[in-house]
Structure 1
Amino acid sequence: MASPTPQLNRLLARLSRRLTALIWLHGVSSALTTLALWTLFCFWADWFLHVPAPVRLLHLLVWLGAPLWLCYRELLQPLRRRPGAAGLAVLLERAHKGLDQLLVSAVELDCTGRDVRGRELVYRVRERAEARAAELELGGVLDRRGPRLRLATATLSLLVVGLVFSHNPALATIFANRLFGASTPWPQRTHLVVEIPVGTREAAPSTPTTTTTPTTLEPEAATAADSVLSLRVSRGTDVPVHISANGLVPEEVLLIFDSGERLTLGSGGADRFSTVLRAVQQDLSFRVYGGDDQDGQPLVSLTVLSPPDVVDLALVVQPPAYSGLPTELLFRGDTEVLAGSRLTVHARLTPPGSTGQLRLLPADDSLELLPSPFPKRSDGGPLPATLASSRTPDGGAPSASPDAPAETAVSAETAVSAEFLALSALRYRFELKAPDGMVDPDPGLFAVEVLEDRAPEIALLLPGRTEVELVPGGHLPLFLRVTDDFGLTELSWSAAPTDSDGTERPGQSLAPVPMEGMELTWGAGALLSSAALAKAGADVAGDGDGAPGTDGVDDAGSQGDALQPREGAVYLLTAEATDNREPRPGRGASIPLRVRITSPDEFLRRVQDRLAEARLATTGLVRLWNEKLTQLNSLEASAAGDSNRDSARAEFLAQALTGGRRVAGDARSLARDLAAIAQDVLYSGIDERGSSLMEAWHRTTGQPTGREFRPGPWRELATDLRAGSHGSPEFAGRLVELTELALIVSEEAAPTSVAALEAAVASADSADLRSTLAVAGQTQRAGIAALERLRTALAEWDNFQSVLTLTRDILNRQRNLIEHTRAFARDR
């Protein structure tokens, strides 16, 4: 029977088909999306985490069950709940407003059992529904965005899975096998390479041992024989461990030792992990883990062996021949030697058969250690010539001399040695290697301090100043003290004018004489005349006689005034010494002595000024000593007083002693000043009758050993002068007498007074105190009397010199007047 509403039925059938298609699209897309995403999750988890089989089984169950459950929930159930014709009509009416349930009524109304009027109404409804069904569209009835989105998600997920597995088909196969129960291992992504740059690789017994530096082993490529990396290292060695990560670099690497200790290493962003096992003392082993490299291979095993070492050490020091020092045998590593010494380092090594080299620092030179006998241990000291060198000229070991004493006979034990020349300070160490390949990880460092052979040192003893004045026709005493480490070969002096062109002038030789009681010290002296100085400064050819012996007097001035220096000239006199150092002798020079040539008148004026200063000093000393004597008299008077004033008396005694010492110091200074003036006048030649006195003084002083003031020769000279042994010199003799008066004060009265005051301070008895104070007062009064005589003599000298100066000025003026008169007469 034909349907009363064919158009409506066709419309509803089309809507039903579309609804069924959307349900299928929704359900299948949901299942496929879930399957794809779960597949990716299982692949990621198994790839990165290497999940065990039970977890993989769970993943498989979810992989199978989740899509089936989604198909049931999202496909089968929606298909079963699809609406009928009335429900489809409701969907159409919801999409198209204004139908007022027309389509639902047309579907649900039935004409059966109705009267005519009712049937007509049903027919009209159906007709109207048919008419509207022809006009309706299905475009907005169903929402297709959700199924389409699920389809796109499923397509994208499947595309990602396809790309991942197609890019790594081998990994996809392994994943599938592992997912379905197989135990196929994943390919390793992290490969750790162990590198140990020290030690010796242990080999099989039949394989010779070879040294591997550095020793590397890739655990993943290790065979069964290489699963253990055995190394031998010396005890105390710092063992660096470097681990390189190939492939995926882990954040950290773990070292697990056989003792259970763990050491975690961080990379710091690089693909290399490093650590140092400090001063390994015992055997140890460890494994390395990191990333997915968890097999712990290889097992790194370190076997600690005793390193080669020096068990005995000896040095043979052979100084340079010029020094005259004996060859020494020293049983120590550190030493001090003279520059140019030859050192032979002997060492006895353990274990037997060890070899090596001697490293010299800082030059970084290496010397091979050659077999050589080791000297027998003794107290050391000088060696006989037979053992002075540890090798024969051809490099072999010398045989022990039958005449060698027992304490220096060489031992038959095998040893090594090396020889070098010490020219500057250095350090040396032994770099040893044992027969089994072991090396000394921490070789000792020994020091050789080299003492330089210093150049000669020249001290100018006389004159005592660096600037002196010399009168034409006068003499300059030159006394030198030369010190050298080993010996002198030449000593000379030279002079040059200050306005010279710097040309080197030949030196005048001096004969050095060893000083008594002073080791490696020589003295030399000469009495240089002004003519000899001028001759040396002018570089006059000839032998010259400006360098006589210490006790001789130069007679170069007898050659005439042509060689006399001009007034106002200044010469620089320098002494030079050459020692016996080899191969290049050392040369030393004294401080230049500035010699100024002055006129006799100017010289006498300076002498007069110096004597005036001495007179002022004498007057001040007399005043000071009188004050101290007054205090001493008061103290002596109070010595018999009340004993309750002992504390105050002790303070006064201390003040008196301090004053006495001050007086003694001033007296010594005055005596030195007068002696210097007298010496300058003696050598100046101003006093024509003082030549004998000058020669006697030069012989009496002899060769001084220092710059200290010696009063003995002056007192001896004064005694001879009073005895008439040197004639009757005028100026010089008077100055010697003044010096003697000053010496009486400085060497007799003042020291005796100080000694008495010291005894008074130390005295505990009143009687002793009074006696010592009396002695001190007596000596001070005697000293003051001597000072008064000295002051009177200085005043007379000053008056006498004033008269002489005035007379000389009058004569000079008369001479000038006569010359002017003669010149005026010639002009007329």
Structure 2
Amino acid sequence: MSRIKQHPQSQQLEQALLELGLRMRRQHIYRGLIQLTYTAFAGLVVFFLVDWLTNMPYAVRLCAWVAALVYGIVWFIRKPLRASRQPVDVQQIGLLIEQRFPELHSRMISTLQFQGENGIGKGMSVDLVEGVLDQTFHQLPNIKMDSIVDMAALKRGLKYLGISILLIGAAGGIGHAYFGAFIQRLVMPSAEYPTKTQIVEVNAPEVIPIDTPFSMHIRAGGRIPRVGHVEVRNEEGFTSNIELSLDKGANDLFTVEMPGLSEPATYTIYLGDAQHGPVSLTPVARPHIKTLTLEVVPPAYTGEPREQLQTGSARVIYGSVLTLRIEPTQRLKTLELVSSDDSKELPTMTRTDNGAWETTLSARNSLVYTVAMVAETGLSNATLPHYRITVRPDKAPVIRITKPSLVNELAAISKLPLAFEVNDDFQLSDVTIFYEILQSGFLGEENDKPRQGTVFKRIPVTGKKLQFNGFWDNAKIQPEPGQQIRVWIEAQDNYVDGTHLTRSNDFTVTVITAQEYRTMLVQRLQETVDPAAELILDVRSSKRKLQKIDKQ
């Protein structure tokens, strides 16, 4: 093989062809990006029009734009990006140049081959080949090799890009509110297109009590109609419409009275061309008392048994300890006892580990109270039941003297029948007979000095009732004639806050001499005998008259 000399411009040619190949590779990226961009812009405008006209569900919108995004990325990777990564072949580029410029037909490829092989085959003239090379390199300065880069496709893509930008600009400029809403609807399920009527604000309770009507306030804007309606749909699909009308004296506010709900439902507001909803409503039960237990522990001295009542009302003994335990139907934030008398403070209810609430109070005064509950949902019990605690006081003992009379005369050594009865509601602790000797003339006078009674007899007691039948015996105190004795009875119980003391009415005994007492007894006997004698005479007279009548 004969060798030919290396032409001085051969390296420059190869370098120029390599750069040209790199430009062509970049051209694939540019065209792909431009095509992807104007297709995305045009598709976005078409998607906007279709969504605006059909109001597509969020799931369809999401699937559509995600699918388009994935398709665009896959297309770009498989076509423009793959084409841009193809290796640069200078002979292939030379062939493209020969196709573009016919005057270089077979010259560019031959030049590249001869320069690459540094030799020629047998039968070929070296001078002839070198002459062809010289002619080729001589023609290259007059050839615009970069014209093989297809700029027409790039310019066409830029034209389409400009048109798509104009479309996007027109959509955003003419209907900026609608197009802005469309962009939000791509990612936000609750975004809606603006309407001529706008529902600006809807105020509804966050928690709706079950079977309880509630109010909903709606503020509108834009072109506001005078009427609308609210559609309520339950889980079974049954619907009901509630009329919506402007509030009296207002020009943008609507108030609707919603019926009580017993099951979950949804509501949708229709006002003009605006729609709000559907919004879910789940009614929540109000808290109420599941179980209520009142444990009553009477004071120990009464001997009364403790009670456990299934109610909040009771009649209890003064000083009893009451334990109120309430189990609600749901977890509560607060539970309070509220007195009907604001001046009375009731103890605080505390929550136990098992969710019940309880408190303890001492029965000192009667009271009427209610139970106010607030659940963790914020709902309170609708009805406040009234309960009454009636405190029965521990009364003082009652003394009733049956014998003797209030004023009596008795000799110094004589006895007088004494009978009395003492009753207490729970337990007697002490019954004592007292006396006080007074000088004649002082009886009936009262002064501020405390009585200085002397114990005549202390009677043992074990229950709440005492019956005494005995005698007052002057001989035990040995009074002198002319003295007066004031006698009374005192009874005490075992009341929790200190004993109750009851003092009976007084009866008096005037001490007389034995002769005076004998005379008094004779007079009393005479007063008894004389009427008896007269009665006997009357009986005899009546008997004689009856006998005379019988004889006739």
Q: TM-score range by the shorter chain?
A: 0.3 to 0.5
Q: Which has the higher strand share?
A: 2
Q: Which has the higher helix share?
A: 1
Higher relative contact order (CA 8 A, sep 6+): 2
TM-score by length of 2: 0.46
